[in-house]
Amino acid sequence: MNMRSLKTSLPVFGWLLLADVRFIWKDFFANLIDAATWPFFIIFINGYVITAMGMPENYGAFTSVSMVIIMGAYNAWAASIAIATDLCGPKNISYELTLPIPYWMVWIKNGLYLAIKSAVFNSLPLLLGKIILGNRFDLSNFSLLKFFVLYTVACLFFGMFALWSTVITKTAESHSRLELRLIGPMFFLNGWASSWATMAAVSPALGFFVRCLPWIYAYEGARASVLGQQGYLNVWLCVGMLLIFTALIMWSSIRLFKKRMDCI
Amino acid sequence: MLKIKNITKMFGDYSALKDVSLDINPCEIVSLLGVNGAGKTTLSSIVASLHPPTSGDVLFDDVSIYNDIIAYRRNLGFCAQSQNLALHMTVREHLVFAGRYFSMKPHAIEHRVQELIELFDLHKYIDASPAILSGGYKQRLLIARSIVHKPKLVILDEPTVALDPHIRRQLWDIIKGLKAQGVSVLLTTHYLDEAEILSDRICLLHAGRVQLIDTPQALMSSYNKGRLEDVFIQLINEQTPESSADAQAMARQGRDYL
């Protein structure tokens, strides 16, 4: 692909993305309610009820940060179902593949759309956590820069990961099965409920296994940027690892997409 | 304008197209006909640049489209069989964004959209979601969207399938209008009457090969038949027994053979 073609394709990429992103604003309030409901109850229970059973008082704050990550991942995944269904059925994506833009840009555009969908509402649990937990949520170590960078990279990873899932599954049903059997357990195993240091202390083998997977870096990086670095993996290490995983998954996803759609 | 040269397309061991060659001239409507599995959709997908051929080439203005596929696509309008419209966008937004995808200037888009609204009689629905449109109006919108940027070649993949007869006739007028505007059309259709009325030439595919290419009138006179449907059935009868059975079964069901 020459530079002239690339220059022609970039505005098309932008317009296609804008056409998709407008969909997010269309249901703004419904999406806002969705993003608030589940975190509200989990933060409340983990902040007041679970702590009454002997967990540290900051467990609610810990959970609030976990919710930012899991809601981001979940929203990207949920939005990807439409893409998985399209690839298995009507292949409406064909229209975009005949526009003056290379196939890989169309595919990345879809991943970016999922990332934006994941990012727009899912920092809400932080605000909710502060409102629900008050002084139990200490934000004195909060770094806006670190959180912004980590959150952006994490959402990009979730978007590209959700996109990758659509191209490795042959039917919409197998996409759901993948979520139930693998992705769901992985989200939780990889640090939703506990820090990496705790898991590694319980079992070094578990600690090693978890470090080989991407989600732990999203959880740990978010906690380090919101709650402070102590006790968590270094936030810049987490950003770097997430970028590496994102690049790998994007590369794999583009190759699989080309093979599956047999596109030019 | 478009030259399809010795295209072969393999899917594993299965050969969907075998050494297919076809020219499409400026302002010409060429229809692809054939039984299911003949290779019509595969051929139109290759011309639409959705899939690469296994071998052979497609030349646009005597240059291989694979030299600069992006430049080729700027001259192409594609109207897929599935009604792939975004329900969160209005009819107007579909047309406006289609113009933007082809780098048209805002005032040119505005002018062209107005022109197409008139041409396709879309006034009533211009600010509505495609969700409320009837099948016929959705198809109008799809065709309008494919020609916003004034392409030289439009590929219409079964544009009138499952539509009422009077809607089909309205769309025929629109397709004839494309030719009048200087657009070449590659039409894949299931309807022989449609092919007979609209086409300058018909390309009959059978088992992945071009069986014949000619004008509808020449085909009917050389086979001494009054209707294209009768020509088609005779041709199919000369083929394999199972194809012949298919053709007769379809003929019994009415005129909409493939």
Query: What is the phi/psi pair of residue B57, to 5°?
Result: -145, 160
Residue A137 DSSP class: S
Indicate yes or no: CB of B89 within 8 angstroms of CB of A22: yes
How far apart are alpha carbons A9 and A15 in whole angstroms? 10
Task: Flag whether residue A263 sits within 8 Å of chain B, measured between CB atoms.
Answer: yes
The answer for A 26-85 residues in CB contact with B (under 8 A) is 26
At residue A20, the pLDDT reads 92
List Cα–Cα distances, A204 to A196, A200, A201, A211, B36, in angstroms.
Answer: 10, 5, 6, 11, 60
SS3 B151: coil
The answer for A 92-121 residues in CB contact with B (under 8 A) is 92, 94-95, 97-102
Instruction: Provide the shortest C-alpha distance from residue B241 to chain A (in Å).
Output: 32
User: Which residues partner with B60 through β-bridges?
Assistant: B2, B63
**B71 interaction partners in chain A (CB closer than 8 Å):** 5, 100
Interface test with B, best of A95, A106, A263 (most B CBs within 10 A): A95
Please give the residue of chain A at the shortest CA–CA distance from B72: A100
Residue B13 DSSP class: T
What are the tokens at B254? 């009415």
How far apart are alpha carbons A116 and A72 in whole angstroms? 10
Task: Flag whether residue A22 sits within 8 Å of chain B, measured between CB atoms.
Answer: yes
Indicate yes or no: CB of A5 within 8 angstroms of CB of B49: no
Residue A134 DSSP class: G
List Cα–Cα distances, B20 to B9, B23, B67, B215, in angstroms.
Answer: 9, 10, 20, 18
Rounded to a whole number, what is the largest CA-CA distance in chain A?
64
Is residue B203 within 8 A of residue B213, CB to CB? The reply is yes
Query: What is the phi/psi pair of residue A193, to 5°?
Result: -100, -15
> pLDDT tens digit string along A107-161?
999 999 999 988 988 888 999 999 999 999 999 999 999 999 999 999 999 999 9
Interface test with A, best of B49, B72, B73 (most A CBs within 10 A): B73
Task: Flag whether residue A17 sits within 8 Å of chain B, measured between CB atoms.
Answer: no
What is the pLDDT of chain B when averaged over all its residues?
88
**A99 interaction partners in chain B (CB closer than 8 Å):** 73, 101-102
Strand order in the sheet with B184-188: B76-79, B153-157, B184-188, B29-33, B201-206, B209-214
How far apart are alpha carbons B247 and B258 in whole angstroms? 9
Task: Flag whether residue A186 sits within 8 Å of chain B, measured between CB atoms.
Answer: no
**B48 interaction partners in chain A (CB closer than 8 Å):** 94, 98
Q: What band does B254 get if pLDDT is binned at 50, 70 and 90?
A: very low
Please give the residue of chain B at the shortest CA–CA distance from A261: B51
Please give the residue of chain B at the shortest CA–CA distance from A1: B68
**B99 interaction partners in chain A (CB closer than 8 Å):** none
Q: B47 pLDDT exceeds 80? A: yes
Class of domain B2-75+151-253: alpha beta
Q: Within chain A, which residues score under 50 in pLDDT?
A: none
What are the tokens at B183? 């657009």
How far apart are alpha carbons A167 and A106 in whole angstroms? 14
Please report the DSSP string for A225-238 in residue order.
HHH-STTS--HHHH
> pLDDT tens digit string along B27-40?
999 999 988 888 99
Is residue B72 within 8 A of residue B228, CB to CB? The reply is no
Straight-line distance from the first to the last Cα atom of chain A, in angstroms, rounded to the nearest whole number: 11
Q: Treating both helix axes as pointing N-terminal to C-terminal, what angle do B241-253 and B228-237 enclose, rounded to 10 degrees?
A: 150
Residue A135 DSSP class: G
Which among B50, B89, B93 is the nearest to A97, CB-wise?
Answer: B50
- DSSP β-ladder status, B201-206 and B29-33: parallel
The answer for B 14-43 residues in CB contact with A (under 8 A) is none
Burial A191-227 (b: 16+ CB within 10 A, else e): bbebbbeebbeeeeeebeebbeebbbbbbbbbbbbbb
> pLDDT tens digit string along B175-209?
998 898 889 999 998 888 889 899 999 999 988 99
Task: Please report, for chain B, the start and end positions of each structural domain, with discontinuous segments joined by +.
Answer: 2-75+151-253
* Count of positions (residues) in chain A: 264
> pLDDT tens digit string along B73-116?
999 999 988 878 988 899 999 999 999 999 999 999 999 999 99
Instruction: Provide the shortest C-alpha distance from residue A217 to chain B (in Å).
Output: 35
Which among B50, B68, B70 is the nearest to A263, CB-wise?
Answer: B50
Which among B52, B73, B88 is the nearest to A100, CB-wise?
Answer: B73
Indicate yes or no: CB of A94 within 8 angstroms of CB of B80: yes
User: Which residues partner with A197 through β-bridges?
Assistant: none
Instruction: Provide the shortest C-alpha distance from residue B71 to chain A (in Å).
Output: 7
Is residue A53 within 8 A of residue A143, CB to CB? The reply is no
How far apart are alpha carbons B160 and A46 in whole angstroms? 58
Indicate yes or no: CB of A100 within 8 angstroms of CB of B80: no
How far apart are alpha carbons A226 and A212 in whole angstroms? 23
At residue B220, the pLDDT reads 87
Instruction: Provide the shortest C-alpha distance from residue A79 to chain B (in Å).
Output: 15
Task: Flag whether residue B162 sits within 8 Å of chain A, measured between CB atoms.
Answer: no
How far does CA B143 lie from the centroid of its chain?
10
SS3 B11: strand
Is residue B206 within 8 A of residue B39, CB to CB? The reply is no
Instruction: Provide the shortest C-alpha distance from residue A97 to chain B (in Å).
Output: 6
Q: What band does B253 get if pLDDT is binned at 50, 70 and 90?
A: very low
Residue B226 DSSP class: S
Q: State percent of chain B over pLDDT 70.
A: 92
ipTM more than 0.85? Answer: yes
At residue A189, the pLDDT reads 81
Please give the residue of chain B at the shortest CA–CA distance from A22: B88
Is residue B9 within 8 A of residue B16, CB to CB? The reply is yes
How far apart are alpha carbons B144 and B138 in whole angstroms? 10
Instruction: Provide the shortest C-alpha distance from residue A172 to chain B (in Å).
Output: 18
How far apart are alpha carbons A43 and A50 in whole angstroms? 10
Q: B256 pLDDT exceeds 50? A: no
What are the tokens at B45? 């997908």
